[in-house]
Structure 1
C-alpha cells in the first residue's frame, strides 16, 4: 500500500459500510469515529493507543489534541483548505465532537445515526474545530 495521505484515504475508504459501534476498534467489523481514524493512521501510531474513555457527548478535545500532538501530524490554521488524508475534528451538535477523514471524493466517517461508516459531502453546518495534516504533506 502507498504511504502518506493517500494511504490514509485508502484505509478509510476500505471501511465504507462497516457497522458503527461506540468504542468500536475492529477493522471490517465495528468502528466509531476514533476507531476509523486509528485504522487510517495505524502506520503512524508507533504503538500508541488512540483516546479511550469518552462518550457520545462530552468534551474530549484535549485528549484528541494531545494524541495528535504526539504523532507526525501538524495542526492547520482555522479555515485552511482540506486535502485527502487530512483529519478533521468537528462539533456536530452541542457537546458532540466527531472525527472525519478527508478523501478526494468527500468525507469518510463513522455515522452513529446511519449506524455505519459512510462517505459524505462536507457538512456545512458542522463547525471544524481542529484540522490535522501529515507533516510534510
Structure 2
C-alpha cells in the first residue's frame, strides 16, 4: 500500500472520534493537529506535535513552520494523503487531510472527526506531503 493510501485509511478510521482541543489520543478526542499527527503516525511517520495554540488568532506562517518541522514538504498540486492548511475564519487556521472525493478533518462545531465530500469549504493556504 502506498504512503498516501495508508494516510487516507488511517484518517478514515478516525472518523467519528470526538473533537477535543489539543487532543492527541483518539480514545479521548482529537483536534485538527491531533488528527493529522495520528493519521501520519499510523502510516509510519512520527513527528513532534505543536502545543499552545488556540482555535483563533493563529498565524499561517507558524502552522507552515510546524508542518516543515514535522518533516512535510510543501506541494503545489494535491493528492490523497496530503495535509491542507485552510483559513476557516478571520485569523482561524485549520488542518485537513485530503482523501479521494473530499477531506477528513476534526470539526469543532460538530464536535467530532468527519469526512467532508467535495471541494474545501475554506480558502486553501497551502498543501504539504510526507515523502515524495
Give the TM-score normalised by the residue count of structure 2.
Answer: 0.88
CA separation in 2, counterparts of 1:29 and 1:89? 24
Aligned residue number for residue 44 of structure 1: 45
Q: Which residue of 1 aligns with 2:11?
A: 12
| Cα separation, 2, equivalents of 1:124 and 1:56 | 19
1:92 is aligned, of 88, 94, 97, to 88
SS of 1:41's equivalent in the other structure is: helix
- Over the residues paired in the alignment, what is the CA RMSD in angstroms? 1.7
Structure 1 unaligned residues grouped into runs of 5+ = none
Match of 2:128, SS state, is: strand
- What's the CA shift string for 1:69-112, capped at 9, x where partnerless? 234422013xx3x2110100000111110000011131000000
Number of aligned positions between the proteins? 130
Q: Which residue of 2 aligns with 1:112?
A: 108
User: Structure 2 CA distance, aligned partners of 1:111 and 1:28?
Assistant: 16
Partner-residue secondary structure (3-state), 2:52? coil
| Superposed CA offset, 1:30-76 (max 9, x none) | 0000000000111222xx32111000001242332222223442201
**Change in CA separation of 1:15 and 1:57 when aligned onto 2, cut-off 3 Å:** same
Structure 1, residues 13-43: CA drift from partner, whole Å, max 9, x if none?
A: 0111111011111124300000000001112
Question: 8 Å contact 1:15–1:28 — kept in the other structure?
Answer: no
Q: CA deviation at 1:3?
A: 5.0
